[in-house]
Amino acid sequence: MARTVKRAFKFRFYPTDAQAALLLRTFGCVRFVYNHALAERVRAYRVEGRPMSYGDMSAALTAWKRTPEMAFLNAVSSVPLQQALRHLHAAFTAFFAGRAGHPVYKSKKRSRASAEYTRSAFRWRDGRLILARMDAPLDIVWSRPLPEGTEPSTVTVSRDRAGRWFVSILVEDRVAELAPNGRAIGIDMGLQSLATLSTGEKIAGLRNERTDAVRLARLRRSMARKVKGSANHGKARLKVARAHARIADRRRDHLHKITTRIVRENQTVVIEDLPVRNLLGNHNLAGAISAASWRQMRDMLVYKAAWYGRELIVVDRWFPSSKTCSHCGAVRECLPLAIRSWECACGAVHDRDVNAARNILAAGPAERVNACGGPVRPSPRKRTRRGSKKQESLPVRAGIFWCEPR
């Protein structure tokens, strides 16, 4: 059985000088329209007490283009500007639904420079992509072919801090579900090992992470010695950005390989709902937690499980997976992070991470699961804090996701 999903294929391209100038101008106009529309919506609500819909913002954009102060908006395609208004409207919709915070202004230095083109703003002929206001196709490096018989519905052009240009092509594709195999696995995410499986396997993080961190620190010190605004400061900043990009690319590739293998080998995957944002408040471990990319790994498991017909279950964050004995179910009162192995009163000796992974599996889809040949029974879950909000603790079902495939 195959399901239809939306897949975004990301490629690198090398624009000409004219194309780069037009795209940079488009990025600036997109950011300007987004910020100006956000300010106008806030002003209309606070001063006039009225909300603004997408139609109101679109009409306001038309009026802005007719003024001498904003006539520069006519120099770029109108489609990316309209898409910026749609993104702002979606941000406010998520805010009012309680799924996100209030929209914030886009910064020229910190925000991702991108522009989105819909079908009316680009031409796709024989594998050649020509954007609006351009007379030549983009020089795309086709690292992999698009699915046969598909045509792009949306194209997003972006430029990262390292100066690399990317184009993300969204297509509709049919993905065949994997054959059910009946296997279930629990995953405990950690710092010493990126992921520990209920089978006892420990998946390490990236190699040479310490070497990359030392090199990045050296580049940052070199940039700090330069005068801000000077040419040397710009060169040093570019070196730092390229180092960050290399680390991020290697980490993403590593996570793709891990999550793909886990989803292909198991029918049911059980993970723990980790409050990453709260854990980052620990300044001693914030750097290691950020480098582990737990949330990114979870997002990959979510959409890959949906693609291939697998089931992903998220266990409540308050479940004491590390302190519970996976043999008898007894719960210890205290288990500091320094203790990596412990012995229960029943005589069972546990590796902290393996024991947590087995308990996470036991708290998954079945009331009682046989993990690694031994019976494991989950203990009742208790809330130890008040006023804390839980995230998703229910099974994540199949759906359609817009993610970069691997």
Active-site residue, from 272, 367, 392, 404: 272
Catalytic residue status for 160 = no
| pLDDT value, residue 365 | 57
Task: Out of 116, 212, 311, 353, pick the active-site residue.
Answer: 353
Pick left, alpha or beta for residue 121 (phi over 0 → left; psi -120 to 50 → alpha; otherwise beta): alpha
Low-confidence ranges of the chain (pLDDT < 50): 366-406
DSSP helix/strand/coil, 387: coil
268-272 and 311-315 strand pairing: parallel
Q: What is the pLDDT of residue 182?
A: 87
Placement of tokens 């708290």 in the chain: 363
Report the alpha-carbon distance of residue 209 to residue 244 in Å, rounded: 12
Round to whole Å and give the CA distance between 189 and 195.
4
Structure confidence by residue, pLDDT tens digits, 153-203: 999 999 999 999 999 999 999 888 899 988 999 999 988 889 999 999 999
* Amino acid 234: pLDDT: 93
Q: How many CB atoms lie within 10 A of CB 195?
A: 23
* Partners of 314 in the β-ladder: 271
Cα separation, 181 vs 238, whole angstroms: 48
Q: What length is written for the chain?
A: 406
The pTM (predicted TM-score) of the whole model is 0.82
Catalytic residue among 116, 188, 212, 311: 188
Helical pair 17-43 and 54-65, crossing angle rounded to 10 deg: 120
Q: What DSSP element (H or E) covers 277?
A: helix 276-279
Domains of the chain: 2-176 (no CATH), 184-204+252-376 (3.30.420)
Q: Is 316 a catalytic residue?
A: no
